[in-house]
Structure 1
Amino acid sequence: MTRRQVLEALMAAGGLTGAERLGLAGVALAQKHERFKLVYASATSGGPLWLAQEKRRFQAHGLDPELVFISGTTAVVQSTVSGESPISYAAAPATLAAAIAGTDLVFIAGGVNTLVYDLVVHPSIARPEDLKGKAIGVTRFGASSDFSIRLVLERKWGLHPDKDVTIRQMGDNRGIVSGLQAGIIQAAPLTTDARLKAEKLGFKTLVDLGSLGIDYQHTAPFSTRDFIKKHEDTVRRFLKAFVEGIHLFRTDKAGALAVLAKYAKTNDAELLEAYYKDYADVFPKVPYPTLGGIQVILDDLAKKNPEARKFKPEDFVDVRFVRELEASGYIDRLYRGA
């Protein structure tokens, strides 16, 4: 009897916990791991990937990805197009821009399907309309922070960016917080860690942009159509591990906090708790990309690139693998056993 057959017999015999069953399944597949580089650009929203890696969910499905962080989605896109990272995870706008330019990139699932910034303001600002005439800081023009605040200003508050308010490029979150202190800017969309720092300095959160009900494809896993065509089973197994990572992130807080501590490189309990609170519910159980959120990005890209108007969101998604997992009951079973 082979090692795999022994393990399968042990699982079939019962008396093992769910964790032991998963562990044995991972060992059973150990000799068949497929190695590849998995590049990601999000330092805060990669929780499902990190948990899938640390809890050996990828390995349980015969994969052995090397997770590599690269700052900036453009570099991640280049890595994917070149084939260096056949499956990647990063912000959607740059991915869509590259697809419109002629690459065959396509989203294979959703990730964070909403805005993830808090608008932090000077204490004197009490309402969105008080932003008129003020300066708002973003990391860089064209970055997610810039896109997000412009979207909210126009769609929700009727304020024209660069006319009713001034948008200032501050370099990074540290520069934004310094700008708030110096009075160079009076407001800024900030992620969790920077928001906490600003609040400790006396600034306040005016609104969670994600609470405004705007569909937005913030981050998502993607690949090329060529790779998917040639390696369908790899993509299928990746997505099984990915949905398991989402499940673990949503249901195993202690495990999620431990993984966040490792990948965010911090032991700050307050920060980790805030990270978890901000992200625990943003990953959909069934991770379809948001077509409405992709359309929002296409509309924005069309302002500078008219080619974007020729496309519809469906041109940039391949959801058949997520649909398979949903239809098979695989995802439902994960949560029923939680």
Structure 2
Amino acid sequence: MLSKRIFSFLAKSSALLALAASILTHECVVVWGAESLRLGFSGASATQLAGYLAVDQKLFDLYGVNVELTQSAGTTMIRALDSGSLQVAIVGGGQALSAYLKGVDVRIISGLVNIVPFQLWAKPEISQLKDLKGKLIANTPPGTSLNLANQILLMRAGLDPLRDVKLVAFGRLGLVSQALFTGVVDAALLSPPDTIEARKSGMRMLMDLATARIPCPFTSVVTTKAVLEKSPASLDRFLKGILHGIKLALTNPDMAKKTLSRNMRLTEPEAVEEVYQRAILAYERVPMVPKEAIDTVVKLSTGPSNRNPFGVLDMSILERIEKEGFVRSLYSIK
């Protein structure tokens, strides 16, 4: 028994020392002047919880990188990455892939959410997916994450988006749920807290795409080839901040819920809890983007491209971080 305790102590001590050494290395960088990265992120979304936590808990500072925040829409962030006004962005991986296939030298260096996190809700008289034929489904403009999710849903259901259903586009994501609740459309992909109102108003959930675990680069960490070549050390530190944020999301629910409540302006405990549970359902300790996720999007692509779609992925920094034992050390410390 004593030997087991000693072994356990030594194992934890080694992990602590490894993590401390990593942080100390980056603290030295802070002393001598850390490089800054301009980070773009979109509006309030549960999928970005790890990023919120990294900012709120000053995790980027901890690992020795100064992060300047800019909030913007996804398509705008892709253009900003291309122009060099942003160095890194938390954005839809589908948008990054689309830009890459058109010749923009963006790279996905990590995921945050590698599945489709929505639930499909419909009017109560619609009881199964095949009943969607001929119905109105809420949508958002091409290039948005909900638009991509709708395409994946219809492909999964075997429905043609041009012949079998009518997709009704709304300019803002916030209008999608209201269109369902007011009867303007027959079905819509929703996420919490809108799912709470859908349930209370008698709508029927037809499919939970998150539990289906359909591979998809839904929310990704995106940079450019030029930044990867110029600032790999800064991107390494940035990703460690994100990984630490994921750890806090998964292991510190009180902190995570307070962060969600503040950033998403949620006041009802039921809403905070449902949003939180949805976020952690989609998170992984090491969010490598699998090739299957890119393949899901490629199957939906209609435009020609001379580029290999898998070239948009560059997991080299994340793979090195994992190989060095950073994530293992991170989770061994309570």
Q: Which TM-score bucket, shorter chain as reference?
A: 0.7 to 0.9
Pair 254,29 (structure 1): closer, same or farther in 2 beyond 3 Å = farther
Which residue does 1:11 correspond to in 2? none
> Alignment partner of 1:306: what SS?
coil
CA distance in 2, matches of 1:52, 1:173: 25
Query: What do residues 239-276 of structure 1 show as CA deviations (whole Å, max 9, x unaligned)?
Result: 11111111111111111111112211232322211111
5+ residue gaps, structure 1, are 1-13
d(CA) in 1 for partners of 2:174, 2:214: 27
Give, as a single letter, the amino acid of the residue that structure 2 aligns with 1:56.
K
How many residues are treated as equivalent by the alignment?
Answer: 314
Q: Check conservation: 2:74, 2:144, Cα contact below 8 A.
A: no
| Aligned partner letter, 1:312 | P
CA distance in 1, matches of 2:27, 2:269: 33
Shift of residue 28, structure 1, vs aligned partner: 6.7
Amino acid at match of 1:143: T
| Contact 1:29 1:59 survives alignment (8 Å) | no
Cα contact 2:217–2:289 (8 A) shared by 1: yes
Residue aligning to 2:304: 306
Q: Which amino acid aligns with 2:58?
A: R
In structure 1, what is the equivalent of residue 255 of structure 2? 255
Aligned ranges 1:316-335 → 2 under 5 Å = 316-335=312-331
Deviation at 1:133, TM superposition (A): 2.0
Gaps of 5+ in 2: 1-12
Structure with higher RCO (Cα < 8 A, 6+ apart): 2
Q: Which amino acid aligns with 2:271?
A: L
* 1:133 aligned counterpart, secondary structure: coil
Identity value in percent: 25
User: Which residue of the other structure, out of 71, 76, 81, is the alignment partner of 1:69?
Assistant: 71
> What TM-score comes out, normalization by structure 2 length?
0.87
1:217 aligns with 2:217: yes
- Give me the whole-angstrom Cα distance separating, in 1, the residues matched to 2:299 and 2:207: 24
Measure the CA separation in 2 of the matches of 1:154 and 1:298: 12
Amino acid at match of 2:51: L
Aligned residue identity for 1:96:
L
CA distance in 1, matches of 2:233, 2:143: 35
State the secondary structure of the residue aligned to 1:289. Answer: coil
Tell me, yes or no, if the aligned pair for 2:177 and 2:190 is still in contact at 8 Å.
no
1:67 is paired with a residue of what secondary structure?
strand
Give the TM-score, by structure 1 length: 0.86
Specify the alignment match of 2:333 in structure 1: 337
Amino acid at match of 2:113: V
1:283-302 map, 5 Å? 283-301=283-301
1:333 aligned partner, one-letter code = S
- Contact 1:107–1:316, Cα closer than 8 Å, also in 2: yes
Counterparts of 1:53 and 1:175 in 2: how far apart (Å)? 29
Give the deviation of 1:78 after TM superposition. Answer: 1.3
Residue type of the partner of 1:269?
Answer: P
Structure 2 vs 1, CA of residues 237 and 177 (structure 1 numbering), >3 Å: closer, same or farther? closer
| CA distance in 2: counterparts of 1:93 and 1:330, whole angstroms | 28
